[in-house]
């Protein structure tokens, strides 16, 4: 290999890379991982990289990673403008998910690429078209002799019904050109087919669906394949799903390598995969090909092929050490696989197939608790918001590690308080529940096997392969054996009864010390001590792509219980950085950004960095990012093992400087108490607790003279009523120790308070099956248990809710000398009451007076000093009537840190990381790392992206509970333009003409007049519900259409009622109006004293018909400003580097 | 201090006194221990093919993939009628199989054939050790460490030993109905080689010691030289026969057959430190420059500098080992790796097609860089 000279293409010099935009269900940070790798590789090859991605929380949009970084909406018009401005030679779209692929196709179809002579590299339009269009794909596969399920295509409901008749039920409906199974479903009768076909046709951008005979229950596999221009093909990884066909692969527990295929079958699948990639014509890069196998006779069919890197390729890369995206980028510019060296061995070529000597398990994480009303049933439509991956030497070990990596209240398959929820069920009921695919299924299977339900029976009802069931059964059997050996529970002989063989066997099956303590009695610490006393300790093996055949040079580790440790000694100071675990609503890519930046900054400062994380999608779990990578669960025991191993590896001047817990969100933060005090870097655990503890925090604010909304704590309704008596309504009710506004509610009267308290009190007692909400915090030192769980030790917080207040977020960093640097003061567009994570926010603040900002900054400094913060700090304020109230403070990095950095050019996370290891801000200023923010010339808007299209039955109304999965940024010269861009980037492009339908809550009507007038000035007609229309017309704003006022009959509210009943008193029905396509924008502000369900069907209709829908007057006002500016300025694109106009941030390559 | 394993436990001891713990599975011979040269294999699927491959005669195979036995044993997947390795070392022998083709659990199969195994071993540590220290004698079983160490040290290894005599057929037999006539030397032939040949030719499989004139008397279009166990240098009789056949008939050798062909062409062989045993080795086909992913099982290799006028056709990209040779004047070619797969990728099936073309006279073997 290593051809002398340069094999890369010299005929192109600049390449545009398209990212995947905001994190949404089905498309998460795996594309930041792949896109970041691509940008780094292409830049290293000497190409000028032009990047387009609207997501500010990504690493790939760091200005140092591309020559021109366009944080602009991922929209074909915008990309065309970027192409026009940058004139790249080539576009690489195969690393940005379905979004990038669809955009590239759109650019081809519009002739943009042809017009500017831009070549599509990676996969051609022809190849993309063949792979993505299900009809062409099916023909292509049958043409090369591969089987596909019986099916037919439909472009209308009638066609769909006809195909259904021909193919026979059950049927699966698959829209073409979609992502994450959006719009798919299984129909078992004509009625379901009609419903699903309508949804599918609406979801497909080309209104095409495949109506296919369902093979639900077959075994599901994926192969990750790479091909180069010399037609060399390799399989990087095989993946077998534990869940059979019928559960979306993104919602399935998946295992690498394939477990139940003989070599005979595996090689047939490999041949088929190569035939497929060659036929589709993906000339260079990675593809993912899905197969199903009938477990009865081995019949194999091809399900689909993605001609691009995917979530599975990120998983495969992390599972094997083979960096698919990085290599795909090299292949796209002309290298062949044999010309690229395998990074891990440093000596063998990348043209090989990794072999692994461990088992990798990925487990999805869902957020059903955020979307009440959604049945917790898994199907063909992906619903999970994140995933955790674990590596073990055996499947049971990796599965138990993966389950505890979820950070969702379970410690493994069993032996925790969560297992009790099945105790009351008889065997029949347990089996009946296990038969339905839900997030609880693995635990149900374990419980059933422990009771002696046969593998055959469970396999029959679940179609989970008996091999997996037998492996799970080993965990059950071991638990029973251990309990017998030790006597079990309080009367048992406890951990002391176990010998070395017992410990070794249990740990090799993946039991955590917490599980064993629960089973054997005693504390987790007792168990750990007894185990170590018996000579059984964690060992760390390496991921090396080759099953140890060659020496590995990349220290990528996982723990297991074997003889030998492979952690290399180090004579350098090392900093351990704890990542944020699986993506979830409220804790996502923003924290990975912070951890990655910390790693970059500390490496530049001479430290070795040790990353710990279990999220396979992330940049942080790329072995290239840190000096050492541990793919491990973020629990006290697992992190302690790593610290021990690293301390043991110190030689000479080497040492573990400490552990950074403050950059990965709540998950690592709550481990602070489990670590030796001297190892916790940054703000002390006591200060962290001070900010979290309601009583102490209130006292601190009073002492500092900083106003807080009045409030108190309550353990029951009587106490809550007593608090409200003092503070008045409306009140904000929320459990303590929660993330992402879990279960928060605003109540306006005693009735509402009673309902909220009732909901909260049942929250802890009758948690949904399979999830431990009842575990006392004390059972797991340092753990907060399942987020949102509450109990007597966790009272409910009741605060006065400040209506119509402006919410403000501040990110700051304080050093040991007491200096505080304010990173950014952000003003929220939505008023207080909408969770900050779901609200748009603006930097610099457009409406706050400078005197108010001064007060906010002063409060921030005072709080930072009082908490003795050493590192990052985020504080939320509410401003009402020129008075500044502090809502809460978090002495850790916040969700907004990356946005602030993209908006101002200040590398806040890097600064925070350096400060946490002792640097002063003055030093960092001298070094040039800390620069003054670039402000004044531009405005940045961050907008949240919500998953309501995934949950069609859930109301899209914003509230105090965070439900967004991702964010986008709009940046431009005025607030209006930046806001308009942010809406466009979030998928609801503001209209330029048409009709605005306004239905406003009583208190918004007056304020709405000016907004409506603005719309009219912009040439829009107004449609409004009667009450709103009356106010508008009284103020001289013409209303073109008066919409029936259904809701007023029952609620006195202007918004339509909960059911789309026939209009009272004539007029146009709201839903019909939206369905008619005449409305181009909906403004519906139902907040107020009415029930939350008001207007729900208006919003649902807007969502269904793809009409932008604003639910606050503030957003409507911002939209009007944006639409006004838009008419004057039109669309202009500009790279971040231009906005920053400063030296580019340096990143190590 | 010598360890005495507890009931059910077993130890694996290498000749350099490295000790591994595990549990006994399968069936042990009288005396309770087994010895052999220890090699590791990195395939993730295909354990049945490996265990039944006659080339593993005299060896203990350690599998790097931890779960072995997942899909049981299927009659069609054997590479011969019985296991040939001395024993297996695994991290986890799977008790319950799952696959529609399988008829038997691996553990049951091993016991039925009297093959011992040791499970629960830190096979990664073992692999890393062998990678550094090289293949060596080993012994395992539920007996004291001292006995195992003595046995491991007494293990003669494979150098200079004719292990083929123990696995070759005792009498000629015929298989296949293809249009050509092939005589296949059985040095320990794998069934998947025969099944490829059988689709091309009527195949007479003959014992390893069959002299050249007996082969020629069968009037073959081609002679096939199979894989086999041990040291090619110990098979002078086979080299003599091959030398007498060269130039008279098309010759295709695989693995041992390739080594013997090279020897007959004047080259020499040597033992690799720990060999190639896996299903993922990249091999460059010099004629086209493309890379094929191939199945390997060889402890010996042909020395590149001994090849003289013989052309190299294939090279291992990991370590540069000669993986294929061509002697155009002699209508002979051989590959060190396993185009028949069993187990492993099918990327090199084309070599059987080349053998067919050679027999048909429609193509010569080509040189290293020329067209094949």
Please write down the HEC assignment for all residues of A108-152.
HHCCHHHHCCCEEECCCHHHHHHHHCHHHHHHHHHHCCCCCCCEE
Question: Residue A761 — pLDDT band, cuts 50, 70, 90?
Answer: low
Instruction: Find chain A residues with C-beta within 8 A of B49's C-beta.
Output: 263
Residue A548 near chain B (CB below 8 Å)? yes
pLDDT in tens, A653-711: 999 999 999 999 989 998 998 899 899 999 999 998 899 887 899 999 999 999 999 99
Mean pLDDT computed over A761-780: 38
Directed axis angle between helix A441-450 and helix A427-434, to 10°?
A: 150
pLDDT over 70 at A1048, yes or no: no
Measured CA distances, A581 to A402, A595, A633, A729, B224 (Å): 11, 11, 8, 38, 57
Instruction: Find chain B residues with C-beta within 8 A of A354's C-beta.
Output: 280
Instruction: Find chain A residues with C-beta within 8 A of B97's C-beta.
Output: 467
Instruction: Find chain B residues with C-beta within 8 A of A321's C-beta.
Output: none
pLDDT in tens, B46-57: 999 999 999 999
The residue that leads in pLDDT, A1022 or A174, is: A1022
Instruction: Find chain A residues with C-beta within 8 A of B317's C-beta.
Output: 1, 338, 348-349, 351-352
pLDDT in tens, A420-450: 999 999 999 999 999 999 999 999 999 999 9
Structure-token match 């069936």, residue found: B27
> How far off is chain A from B127, nearest CA to CA, in Å?
6
Residue B279 near chain A (CB below 8 Å)? yes
Residue B69 near chain A (CB below 8 Å)? no
Instruction: Find chain A residues with C-beta within 8 A of B123's C-beta.
Output: 357
- Decide if A412 contacts A418 (C-beta within 8 A): no
Q: What is the pLDDT of residue B4?
A: 74
> How far off is chain A from B77, nearest CA to CA, in Å?
7
Question: Residue A1064 — pLDDT band, cuts 50, 70, 90?
Answer: very low
d(CA A581, CA A604): 25
Residue B278 near chain A (CB below 8 Å)? yes
Q: What is the pLDDT of residue A1095?
A: 73
Lowest mean pLDDT among A41-55, A144-158, A730-744, A928-942: A730-744
Measured CA distances, B79 to B49, B52, B75, B114, B169 (Å): 5, 5, 10, 17, 14
Q: What is the pLDDT of residue A554?
A: 84
- Decide if A227 contacts A328 (C-beta within 8 A): no
pLDDT over 70 at A1140, yes or no: yes
Mean pLDDT computed over B306-315: 95
DSSP B104-138: B-HHHHHHHTT-EEEES--HHHHHHHHHHH-SEEE
Cβ A263–B45 below 8 Å, yes or no?
yes
Cβ A234–B99 below 8 Å, yes or no?
no
Residue A1 near chain B (CB below 8 Å)? yes
Cβ B291–A295 below 8 Å, yes or no?
no
- Decide if B48 contacts B99 (C-beta within 8 A): no
d(CA B40, CA B90): 10
Lowest mean pLDDT among A228-237, A320-329, A1090-1099, B139-148: A1090-1099
Cβ A563–B341 below 8 Å, yes or no?
no
Write out the two tokens for A723: 């608090």
Q: What is the pLDDT of residue B330?
A: 93
Instruction: Find chain A residues with C-beta within 8 A of B76's C-beta.
Output: 264
Cβ A549–B64 below 8 Å, yes or no?
yes
Residue A653 near chain B (CB below 8 Å)? no
Residue A1047: CB partners within 8 Å, gap ≥ 6? A1025, A1053, A1054, A1055, A1056, A1057, A1058, A1090, A1094, A1095
Supply the mean pLDDT for chain A: 89
> How far off is chain A from B70, nearest CA to CA, in Å?
6
* Count of residues making up chain B: 372
Q: What is the pLDDT of residue B71?
A: 98
Mean pLDDT computed over A240-261: 97
Q: What is the pLDDT of residue A586?
A: 87
Instruction: Find chain B residues with C-beta within 8 A of A395's C-beta.
Output: 67
> How far off is chain B from A526, nearest CA to CA, in Å?
27
Instruction: Find chain B residues with C-beta within 8 A of A510's C-beta.
Output: none
Mean pLDDT computed over B235-261: 97
Q: What is the pLDDT of residue A76?
A: 96
pLDDT above 90 coverage of chain A, percent: 72
Q: 3-state class of B101 per DSSP?
A: coil
Residue A341 near chain B (CB below 8 Å)? no
Cβ B124–A260 below 8 Å, yes or no?
no
**Which of A7, A226, A261, A262 would best serve as a mutation to test chain B binding (most B beta carbons within 10 A)?**
A262
Nearest CB to B293 within list A352, A356, A563: A352
pLDDT over 60 at A793, yes or no: no
Mean pLDDT computed over A364-381: 88
Residue of B nearest to A229 (CA): B290
> How far off is chain B from A548, nearest CA to CA, in Å?
6
- Decide if A212 contacts A174 (C-beta within 8 A): yes
Supply the mean pLDDT for chain B: 95
Residue B100 near chain A (CB below 8 Å)? yes
pLDDT in tens, A613-640: 999 999 999 999 999 999 999 999 999 9
Beta bridge partners of A326: none
Strand (E) or helix (H) holding A77: helix A76-86
DSSP A659-723: EE-SSS-HHHHTTGGGS-GGGEESS-HHHHHHHH-HHHHHHHHHHHT-----EEEESSHHHHHHH
Cβ A230–B289 below 8 Å, yes or no?
yes
Residue A550 near chain B (CB below 8 Å)? yes
Residue A358 near chain B (CB below 8 Å)? yes
Residue A906 near chain B (CB below 8 Å)? no
Question: Residue A969 — pLDDT band, cuts 50, 70, 90?
Answer: very high
pLDDT above 70 coverage of chain A, percent: 92
Nearest to A327 by CA among B201, A335, B139: A335
| B298 φ, ψ (degrees, to nearest 5) | -145, 135
User: Which positions of B are annotated as active-site residues?
Assistant: 255, 338, 340
Residue B102 near chain A (CB below 8 Å)? yes
| A858 φ, ψ (degrees, to nearest 5) | -65, -45
Mean pLDDT computed over B246-263: 97
Q: What is the pLDDT of residue A740?
A: 66
Strand (E) or helix (H) holding B283: strand B269-285
Residue B344 near chain A (CB below 8 Å)? yes
Lowest mean pLDDT among A902-906, A1095-1099, B203-207: A1095-1099
pLDDT above 70 coverage of chain B, percent: 98
Residue A568 near chain B (CB below 8 Å)? no
Instruction: Find chain B residues with C-beta within 8 A of A296's C-beta.
Output: 100
Question: Residue A757 — pLDDT band, cuts 50, 70, 90?
Answer: confident
Residue A1083: CB partners within 8 Å, gap ≥ 6? A996, A997, A998, A999, A1000, A1008, A1011, A1109, A1110, A1113, A1116
> How far off is chain A from B145, nearest CA to CA, in Å?
17
The residue that leads in pLDDT, A207 or B234, is: B234
Q: What is the pLDDT of residue A552?
A: 86
The residue that leads in pLDDT, A392 or A1128, is: A392
pLDDT over 80 at A267, yes or no: yes
Q: What is the pLDDT of residue A957?
A: 75
Mean pLDDT computed over B281-297: 96
Nearest CB to B317 within list A298, A351, A541: A351
Cβ A550–B318 below 8 Å, yes or no?
yes
Q: What is the pLDDT of residue A1142?
A: 45
Q: What is the pLDDT of residue A1092?
A: 43
Cβ B123–A549 below 8 Å, yes or no?
no
Residue B103 near chain A (CB below 8 Å)? no
| A404 φ, ψ (degrees, to nearest 5) | -75, -20
pLDDT over 70 at A1118, yes or no: yes
Q: What is the pLDDT of residue B116?
A: 98
> How far off is chain B from A652, nearest CA to CA, in Å?
26
Q: What is the pLDDT of residue A739?
A: 60
**Which of B38, B45, B52, B123 would best serve as a mutation to test chain A binding (most A beta carbons within 10 A)?**
B45
Q: What is the pLDDT of residue A763?
A: 52
> How far off is chain A from B18, nearest CA to CA, in Å?
12
CB count in 10 Å sphere of residue A1038? 12
pLDDT over 70 at A1062, yes or no: no
Mean pLDDT computed over A1050-1056: 39
């Amino acid at each position: 290999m290593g051809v002398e000279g340069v094999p890369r293409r010299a005929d192109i010099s600049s390449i545009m890379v398209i990212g995947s935009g905001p994190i949404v269900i089905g498309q998460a940070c795996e594309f930041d991982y792949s896109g970041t790798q691509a940008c780094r590789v292409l830049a290293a090859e000497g190409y000028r990289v032009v990047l387009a991605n609207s997501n500010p929380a990504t690493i790939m949009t760091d200005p140092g990673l591309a020559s021109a970084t366009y944080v602009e909406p991922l929209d074909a018009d915008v990309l065309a403008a970027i192409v026009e401005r940058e004139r790249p030679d080539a576009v690489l779209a195969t690393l940005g998910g379905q979004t990038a692929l669809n955009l590239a196709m759109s650019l081809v179809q519009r002739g943009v690429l042809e017009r500017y002579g831009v070549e599509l590299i990676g996969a051609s339009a022809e190849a993309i078209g063949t792979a993505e269009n299900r009809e062409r794909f099916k023909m292509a596969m049958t043409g090369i002799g591969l089987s596909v399920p019986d099916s037919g295509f439909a472009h209308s409901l009638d066609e769909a019904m006809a195909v259904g008749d021909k193919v026979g039920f059950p049927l699966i409906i698959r829209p073409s050109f979609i992502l994450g199974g959006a719009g798919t479903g299984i129909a078992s009768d004509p009625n379901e087919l009609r419903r699903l076909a309508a949804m599918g046709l609406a979801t497909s951008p080309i209104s095409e669906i495949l109506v296919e005979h369902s093979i639900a229950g077959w075994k599901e596999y994926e192969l990750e394949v790479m091909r180069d221009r010399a037609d060399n093909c390799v399989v990087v990884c095989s993946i077998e799903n534990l869940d059979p066909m019928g559960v979306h692969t993104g919602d399935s527990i998946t295992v690498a390598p394939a477990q139940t295929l003989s070599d005979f079958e595996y090689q047939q699948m490999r041949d088929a995969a190569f035939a497929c990639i060659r036929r589709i014509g993906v000339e260079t890069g990675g593809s993912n090909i899905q197969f199903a196998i009938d477990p009865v006779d081995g019949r194999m069919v091809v399900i689909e092929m993605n001609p691009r890197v995917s979530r599975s390729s990120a998983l495969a890369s992390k599972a094997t050490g083979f960096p698919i995206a990085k290599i795909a980028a090299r292949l796209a510019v002309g290298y062949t696989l044999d010309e690229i060296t395998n990074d891990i061995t440093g000596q063998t070529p990348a043209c090989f197939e990794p072999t692994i000597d461990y088992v990798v398990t990925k487990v999805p994480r869902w957020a059903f608790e955020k979307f009440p009303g959604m049945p917790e049933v898994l199907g063909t439509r992906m619903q999970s918001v994140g995933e955790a991956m674990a590596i073990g030497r055996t499947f049971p070990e990796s599965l138990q590690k993966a389950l505890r990596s979820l950070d969702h209240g379970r410690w493994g398959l069993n032996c925790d308080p969560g297992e009790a929820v099945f105790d009351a069920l008889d065997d029949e009921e347990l089996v009946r529940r296990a038969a339905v695919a839900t997030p609880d299924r693995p635990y149900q299977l374990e419980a059933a096997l422990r009771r002696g339900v046969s593998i055959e029976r469970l396999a029959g009802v679940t179609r989970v392969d008996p091999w997996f069931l037998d492996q799970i059964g080993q965990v059950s059997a071991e638990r029973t054996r251990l309990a017998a050996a030790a006597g079990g529970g309080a009367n048992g002989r406890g951990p002391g009864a176990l010998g070395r063989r017992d410990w070794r066997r249990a740990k090799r099956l993946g039991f955590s010390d917490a599980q064993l303590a629960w089973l054997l009695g005693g504390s987790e610490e007792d168990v750990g001590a007894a185990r170590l006393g018996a000579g059984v300790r964690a060992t760390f093996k390496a991921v090396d792509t080759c099953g140890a055949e060659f020496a590995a040079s990349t220290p990528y580790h996982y723990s297991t219980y074997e003889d030998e440790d492979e952690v290399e000694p180090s004579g350098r100071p090392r900093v351990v950085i704890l990542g944020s675990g699986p993506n979830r609503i409220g804790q996502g890519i923003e924290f990975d950004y912070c951890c990655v930046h910390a790693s970059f900054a500390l490496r530049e400062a001479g430290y070795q960095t040790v990353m710990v994380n279990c999220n396979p999608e992330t940049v942080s779990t790329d072995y290239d990012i840190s000096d050492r990578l541990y793919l491990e669960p973020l629990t006290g025991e697992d992190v302690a093992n790593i610290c021990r191993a690293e301390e043991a590896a110190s030689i000479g001047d080497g040492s573990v400087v400490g552990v950074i817990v403050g950059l990965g969100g709540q998950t690592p933060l709550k481990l602070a108490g489990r670590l030796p005090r001297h190892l916790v870097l940054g703000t002390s655990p006591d200060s962290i607790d001070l900010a979290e503890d309601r009583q102490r925090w209130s006292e601190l604010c009073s002492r500092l003279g900083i106003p807080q909304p009045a409030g108190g704590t309550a353990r029951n309704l009587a106490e809550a009523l007593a608090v409200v008596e003092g503070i008045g309504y409306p009140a904000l009710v929320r459990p303590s120790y929660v993330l992402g506004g879990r279960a928060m509610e605003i109540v306006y009267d005693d009735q509402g308070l009673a309902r909220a308290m009732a909901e909260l009190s049942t929250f802890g007692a009758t948690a949904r099956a399979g999830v431990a909400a009842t575990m006392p915090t004390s059972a797991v030192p340092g753990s907060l248990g399942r987020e949102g769980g509450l109990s007597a030790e966790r009272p409910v917080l009741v605060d006065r809710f400040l209506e119509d207040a402006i919410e403000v977020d501040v990110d700051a960093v304080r050093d040991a000398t007491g200096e505080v640097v304010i990173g950014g003061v952000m003003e929220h567009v939505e008023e207080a009451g909408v969770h900050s994570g779901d609200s748009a926010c603006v930097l610099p603040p457009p409406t706050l007076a400078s005197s108010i900002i001064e007060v906010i900054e002063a409060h921030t400094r005072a709080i930072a000093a009082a908490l003795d913060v050493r590192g990052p700090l985020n504080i939320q304020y509410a401003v009402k009537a020129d008075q500044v109230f502090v809502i809460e403070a978090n002495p850790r990095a916040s969700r907004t840190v990356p946005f602030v950095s993209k908006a101002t050019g200040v590398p806040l996370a890097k600064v925070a990381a350096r400060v946490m290891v002792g640097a002063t801000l003055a030093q960092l200023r001298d070094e040039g790392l800390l620069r003054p923010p670039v402000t004044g010339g531009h405005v940045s808007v961050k907008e949240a992206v919500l998953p309501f299209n995934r949950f069609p039955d859930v109301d899209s109304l914003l509230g105090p509970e965070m439900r967004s999965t991702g964010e986008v940024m709009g940046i431009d010269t005025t607030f209006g333009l930046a806001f308009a861009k942010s809406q466009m980037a979030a998928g609801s492009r503001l209209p330029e003409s048409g009709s605005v339908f306004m239905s406003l809550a009583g208190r918004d009507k007056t304020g709405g007049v000016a907004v409506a007038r603005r719309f009219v000035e912009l040439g829009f007609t107004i449609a409004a519900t009667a009450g709103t229309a009356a106010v508008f017309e009284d103020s001289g704003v013409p209303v073109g259409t008066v919409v029936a006022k259904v809701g007023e009959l029952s609620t006195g509210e202007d918004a339509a009622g909960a059911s789309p009943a026939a209009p009272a008193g004539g007029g146009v029905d709201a839903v019909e109006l939206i369905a008619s396509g005449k409305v181009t924008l909906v403004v519906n502000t139902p907040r107020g004293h009415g029930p939350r369900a008001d207007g729900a069907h208006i919003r649902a209709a807007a969502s269904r018909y793809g009409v932008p829908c604003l639910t606050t007057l503030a957003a409507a006002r911002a939209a009007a400003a944006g639409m006004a500016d838009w008419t004057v300025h039109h669309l202009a694109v500009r790279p971040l580097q231009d906005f920053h106009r400063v030296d580019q941030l340096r990143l190590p390559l | 201090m010598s360890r005495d394993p507890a009931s059910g436990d077993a130890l694996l001891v290498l000749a350099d006194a490295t000790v591994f713990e595990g549990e006994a599975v399968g069936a042990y011979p009288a005396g309770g221990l087994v010895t052999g040269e220890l090699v590791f294999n990195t395939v993730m699927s295909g354990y049945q093919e490996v265990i039944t491959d006659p080339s593993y005669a005299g060896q203990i195979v350690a599998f790097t993939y931890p779960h072995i036995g997942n899909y049981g044993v299927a009659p069609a997947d054997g590479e011969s009628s019985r296991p040939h390795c001395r024993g297996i070392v695994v991290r986890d022998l799977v008790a319950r199989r799952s696959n529609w083709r399988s008829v038997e659990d691996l553990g049951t199969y091993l016991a039925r054939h009297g093959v011992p195994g040791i499970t629960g071993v830190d096979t990664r540590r073992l692999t890393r050790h062998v990678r550094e220290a090289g293949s060596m004698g080993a012994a395992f079983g539920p007996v004291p460490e001292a006995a195992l160490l003595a046995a491991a040290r007494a293990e003669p290894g494979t150098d200079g030993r004719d292990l083929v005599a123990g696995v070759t057929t005792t009498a000629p037999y015929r298989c296949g109905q293809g249009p050509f006539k092939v005589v296949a030397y059985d040095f320990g032939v794998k069934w998947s080689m025969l099944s490829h040949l059988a689709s091309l030719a009527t195949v007479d499989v003959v014992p390893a010691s069959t002299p050249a004139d007996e082969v020629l008397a069968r009037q073959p279009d081609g002679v096939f030289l199979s894989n086999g166990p041990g040291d090619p240098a110990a098979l002078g009789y086979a080299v003599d026969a091959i030398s007498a056949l060269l130039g008279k008939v098309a010759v295709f050798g695989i693995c041992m057959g390739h080594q013997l062909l090279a020897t007959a062409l004047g080259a020499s062989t040597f033992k690799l430190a720990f060999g190639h045993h896996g299903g993922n080795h990249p091999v460059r086909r010099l004629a086209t420059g493309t890379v094929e992913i191939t199945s390997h099982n060889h402890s010996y290799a042909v020395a590149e500098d001994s090849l003289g006028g013989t052309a190299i056709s294939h090279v291992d990209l990991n370590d540069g080992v000669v993986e294929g040779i061509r002697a155009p004047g002699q209508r002979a070619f051989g590959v060190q790796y396993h185009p028949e797969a069993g187990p492993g990728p099918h990327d090199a099936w084309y070599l059987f097609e080349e053998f067919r073309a050679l027999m048909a006279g429609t193509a010569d073997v080509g040189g290293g860089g020329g067209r094949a």
